[in-house]
Amino acid sequence: MADDEMARDLWVAIEALFRDNKDSCAVFLSSQFHSLLQGDQSIADYSQHVKTLADALRDVGHPVSDSQLILNLLRGLNPHYSNTTEDIANLTPFPSFARARSMLVLKETRLANETKITNETALVARWLFLLPVRLPLHPDACSCRLLWLQQRQWPSRRP
């Protein structure tokens, strides 16, 4: 019986330590949750961080409602997502966390695609600007330029 009593006393002591630390832990987690910013994180990483903090708050007895979770997610986003933030905030009924995250991932994909297209267009414009004026317009000239863009190197010159 002594071992059982000792194990129980140990368990009660650990439980008391956990309870004593719950409130201070909740203050720390709440501060992190409400001050979290996306920074240069992807939407997937940022939303996972927000969700992890909300789950940790729930674990210490301070659950975060779905609407608070989404509002905090939107609050910390980069300005690039301002239009999507407004769209999500104005949806009725308020979307789920998964739906809001999905909308933001779609916006992130669009932004990445627009950046890629802009960079490629600038590269083509710069390359065309640097071409010699005496370059003959040959039917293969366009395909040669496209080949170069795809391979990112100058085509070999014929002697």
- For the entire predicted model, the pTM comes to 0.65
In a domain, 150, yes or no: no
**Distance of alpha carbon 100 from alpha carbon 97, whole angstroms:** 5
Q: What is the pLDDT of residue 139?
A: 47
**Distance of alpha carbon 44 from alpha carbon 108, whole angstroms:** 10
Who has greater pLDDT, 21 or 159?
Answer: 21
Q: What is the pLDDT of residue 6?
A: 85
Contact 128, 63 (CB under 8 A): no
Q: How many domains does the chain have?
A: 1
In a domain, 98, yes or no: yes
In a domain, 65, yes or no: yes
**Distance of alpha carbon 27 from alpha carbon 31, whole angstroms:** 6
Least confident segment among 57-66, 92-101, 149-158: 149-158
Range from 20-29, 90-99, 126-135, 142-151 that averages highest in pLDDT: 90-99
